[in-house]
Amino acid sequence: MKKVTAALFATTLVIFSTATWAATEVTSGAGMQPMGSVSVSGADTLSDLQHQLKQKATQDGASSFKIISAGGDDKYYGVATLYK
């Protein structure tokens, strides 16, 4: 029983700690250091596009990101600048 409790605790800790490492979307990059950009295509909704850009920014180690372009008709595409 102790192993199950410990495993559950460890899993919960990982889930909540990785959520705090996620990049946050900003409206201005003033005072931040740019570190590159990411792009996404094929999103079904603008919300999905935003989520995919956030995931890529987090994977690349960015603390923040700013969406600089987005568009599309049936499928959406977008580009975001990453900041440290």
**pTM passes above 0.75:** no
Q: Residues 27, 66: contact at Cβ < 8 Å? A: yes
Q: 18-39 b/e with 16+ CB inside 10 Å = b?
A: eeeeebeeeeeeeebeebebbe
Q: Answer yes or no: is pLDDT of 80 > 90.
A: yes
Of 32 and 18, the one with more pLDDT: 32
User: How many CB atoms sit inside 10 A of residue 56's CB?
Assistant: 18
Q: What is the pLDDT of residue 17?
A: 44
Q: Residues 82, 32: contact at Cβ < 8 Å? A: no
Q: Answer yes or no: is pLDDT of 27 > 60.
A: yes
Q: What is the pLDDT of residue 30?
A: 83
